[in-house]
Amino acid sequence: MSAREASLDSAVIGEEDDGIRLDRWFKRHRPGTPHALLARWARSGQLTLDGRKADVSDRIAAGQRLVMPVPPVEAEARPARKGRPLTDADIALAESMLIHRDASAIVLNKLPGLATQGGTKTEHHVDGLLDALKYDAPMRPKLVHRLDKDTSGALLIARSPRAAAWFAKSFSNRSAKKTYWAIVVGVPDIAQGEINLPLAKQPGSGGEKMHVHDSGLASKTRYRVIDRAGNRAAWVELQPLTGRTHQLRVHMAAIGHPIVGDGKYGGKGAFLTGTISRKLHLHSRRLRIDHPDGGAMDVSAEVPEHFAASLDALGFDPLLGEVAIDDLAKGPPPKAAAKAAAKAHAKQIRKARRGERRGRTATSKPTDHIGKPKSKAKAKTTAKTGKSAAKKPSPRSKRPRARS
């Protein structure tokens, strides 16, 4: 054996590392190897995959044979960075957010106010809790996308490097579908449409704030007004067609309807008076994505307490939120589809409560088609005319008389 061969090491890429970058493989299996040293090996041709020169950014595949130099002793002795130990409260918090788990994926319903990843002065975050969600997997789960600290809702976690690579590709090619719910100040003039405004980092904000600018990156958001509280506020469904920082928040503020609680982009005008919470009312409601093990995953996350309380306080009908933008695009017009879905859902509820209705007394209040008490004005009008308000004239009455 030559001196050169003695200084080389090799490994076969396992299934769990299929699709990840080469430098990620070193972080997992040779954690003490500095990135600068890897780059030097790559430039000099000392890193090979199946006999071919490899770069640190190359995607690797299961079964490939990686050949590399044996790292210096000082590099091997360099310890891997470790996070702080988890407390019982941390473990309980992580498990309380879990809404879906399978062999390749975990979905959390992230709490508002909890950061996705750490940063300056941010030590408590989702990434730091992932050791509590390892379960029977051989490796630590991995984040594949982010939510703003104050945004709640569905957050996808990969349970293997292969799954992480799969999901990352789905997000990058926009095949993953994310649906958000928001409560905004005022009501958009157009009930359903698309916002197409380029976004760029705002100068002087240190990259922490975005704004609409002609030289920015193309940014598109689809939206639909689900329900409205007069002219005071609207409950909207949002679907980002691009993935820019703070995109939904900036777009809604740009059209004059900031998300309730978003003082960063809406200023003082983003807050409603009364009992409405001052927290951000933006929630990742639904995530649809192809699954690495076949089929598709479709997970919905319930809104947090402050959001639910605001929906109730503003009188929004929860039934209307069950009709998605994509459903409307393929079906009847928006209002007709929303009413049809509400009626169908209410019919199921009435069937389930059939026994309760039989036991009602004659003094029970009349209800409309979705189970809400009829207004007094409507009841008086019906009693006065003595006819059903929903009764339509017979088609025969409109038939023209035959001429003699």
Residues known to be catalytic: 148
Question: What is the rounded distance in angstroms from the CA atom of residue 236 to the CA atom of residue 238?
Answer: 6
CA angle 337, 342, 346 (to 5 degrees): 150
Q: Nearest to residue 36, comparing CAs of 28, 48, 21, 26?
A: 26
SS3 content of the chain, % helix, strand, coil (to 5): 30, 25, 45
* Angle value at C-alpha 338, between 337 and 339, nearest 5 degrees: 95
- H-only helix segments in 60-217: 73-76, 88-96, 161-172
How many of the other CB atoms lie within 10 Å of CB of 127?
17
Alpha helices in 15-60 (DSSP H): 22-29, 35-43
In angstroms, the CA 197 to CA 256 distance is 13
349 phi, psi to nearest 5 deg: -65, -40
Contact 297, 288 (CB under 8 A): yes
